[in-house]
Amino acid sequence: MHDDHGAKNVGKMIQITALIRATTYIFRVLPAFVLMTAMPQSVFAGPEANTGFLGQQRQYPRVREALRKKTDVLDRSLAAQGLKSTGLNILIIAYKSEAILDVYAKNPGETRYGKLISYPVCASSGDLGPKRKQGDGQVPEGFYRIDRFNPMSNFHLSLGIDYPNAADKLKTRAARLGGDIFIHGSCVTIGCLPMTDAVIEEIYLYAVHARNSGQKTIPVYIFPFRMTQENMKKYETLYRGQPEMLSFWRNLKQGHDKFVENGEALRVKVTQGGDYDFGP
């Protein structure tokens, strides 16, 4: 009986000690808990709290530096068109002969794009005409989209283009069509669209903001030249001995003219023969 009674006393002492410790802990932690719940969550947010695609891209030093240098530039450019980086869709058009890349933009709820800004393409390779095989040095021509963001590129920053597309694959018999076509920094190229580092920072950030705004498909249209009637007559004369090339360019002009007419992103399909079809 004595041993049992002693055990009960020991048990009570242990319970009392545990209760005292728990009470002390609660009174020590409670003020901090109340303080945390009363303060804005952003006060405690670290890099991991910066969610979304923009937050992911901020993890890379070159993107952070581009944001530091270019945010005001982009905001002014967008504001002049009644746009904001927090709600943005973009579309990119490049003209090989003129060495120009145009960025078009709109609000996500709108249908028509308006030209936002033009940039010079700072180097070129190949000739006019589409890319049809690996190693030909050609810049593609056709209707593409951005399929990669590379914040650690060998060429500063780069945006991948989804060459070869379905039309390219049907229009060639080459075993290897090549790939890794980018809009990138550094003025060197074999088949890409190179910009200066300062320019690619702006284009890259426009694309990041668009993706962060929910734009899953960023179109990229690459034309051999500005496809006006005057230019078509000029190049039909210069390339009159290449009917296949001229047929391809006339097909591209259909899409070109439709975009110029209504400013809307094209609904591009590919026929069994590899031509582009832009619908009704």
Q: Is the peptide bond before 40 cis (omega within 30 degrees of 0)?
A: no
Catalytic residue check, 192: yes
* pLDDT per position as a tens digit, 255-279: 999 999 999 999 999 999 999 999 8
Report the pLDDT value the prediction gives residue 48, as an integer from 0 to 100.
Answer: 36
CATH number of 53-277: 2.40.440.10
CB 203 within 8 A of CB 119: yes
d(CA 62, CA 243): 46
Neighbours of 102 (CB within 10 A): 17
CB 124 within 8 A of CB 253: no
Report the pLDDT value the prediction gives residue 43, as an integer from 0 to 100.
Answer: 29
pTM of the model: 0.82
Of the listed ranges 15-24, 115-124, 143-152, 190-199, the least confidently predicted one is: 15-24
Phi, psi dihedrals of residue 128, rounded to the nearest 5°: -65, 150
Cα separations (Å) of 49 from 213, 214, 234? 17, 18, 56
Mean pLDDT to the nearest integer, 241-254: 97
Delimit the domains of the chain by residue range. 2-39, 53-277
Which residue in the list 156, 184, 209, 256 is annotated as catalytic?
Answer: 184
Local confidence band at 6 (pLDDT 50, 70, 90 cut-offs): very low
| Two structure tokens written together for 60 | 């890379």
Which residue in the list 122, 156, 192, 209 is annotated as catalytic?
Answer: 192
Mean pLDDT to the nearest integer, 92-114: 97
**pLDDT at 44 exceeding the cut of 90:** no
Catalytic residue check, 187: no
**pLDDT at 50 exceeding the cut of 50:** yes
Averaged pLDDT of the chain: 86
Residue 60, SS3 per DSSP: coil
**pLDDT at 21 exceeding the cut of 70:** no
- Measuring CA to CA, which residue among 263, 278, 267, 266 is closest to residue 113? 263
Mean pLDDT to the nearest integer, 101-128: 96
CB 108 within 8 A of CB 89: yes
Residue found under tokens 């810049």: 139
Report the pLDDT value the prediction gives residue 30, as an integer from 0 to 100.
Answer: 39
